[in-house]
Structure 1
Amino acid sequence: MKLILKSFFVVVLFLVMHVPAYAQCAMCRASIENNVSNGETSIGAGLNLGILYLFSMPYIIAAIIGFFWYRKAKKRKSKFIFHGEKY
């Protein structure tokens, strides 16, 4: 019961006390604002695509590692056959 109460308190604390964060560094933001004010919007689209690329790479790598781990575990499990039964 204490663990649930502490967990609830921590979650409420995180939801109440948040710090606003900006998605871009100061240099990127200044560069994009300068280009947008000059009428060029292709740089912003390229930056957003780069952010999505960097965001997705760790998940893709984790999925590949998980797939190979699952395949190896499945092969290892199929090797343990004793008297016609799988263990």
Structure 2
Amino acid sequence: MKNKSILVVLTLLAVFLPQLMEAQCAMCRAVLESEADTSAAEGINNGIVYLMAVPYILVAGLFYFIYRKMRT
């Protein structure tokens, strides 16, 4: 039970605090660091985190659905 609660807390932190994550490829980082405007870099970074998170959430939902069906 304790492991589940830790996993839930970590998942919620990852979902609601994406600014703590640095998810950029090397080429995107190099191009965006050379510009003076940081709002574009933040937008690209947020987009990458969003695109990365959606498949994981969908797969987790699918496995949860399968788990519930197999359990009953």
TM-score for the superposition, normalised by structure 1: 0.46
- From the two aligned structures, give the one with the greater helix fraction: 2
1:23 paired residue among 22, 25, 38: 25
Q: CA deviation at 1:33?
A: 4.7
Question: 1:70 aligns to what?
Answer: 67
- Choose 1 or 2 for highest CA Rg: 1
Q: Which has the higher contact order (CA 8 A, sep 6+)?
A: 2
Give the whole-Å Cα distance in 2 for the aligned partners of 1:60 and 1:74. Answer: 21
TM-superposition CA deviations, 1:9-58 (whole Å, max 9, x none): xxxxxxxxxxxxx81557x854x256x2xx31100001001111111111
Q: Which runs of 4+ in 1 moved over 4 A?
A: none
- From the two aligned structures, give the one with the greater strand fraction: 1
Structure 1, unmatched stretches of 5+, are 1-21, 76-87
Give the total of aligned pairs: 49
TM-score for the superposition, normalised by structure 2: 0.54
Matching of residues 44-59 of structure 1 within 5 Å? 44-59=41-56
Question: 1:42 aligns to what?
Answer: 39
Q: CA deviation at 1:67?
A: 0.7
Structure 2, unmatched stretches of 5+, are 1-23
| CA RMSD between the two structures | 2.3
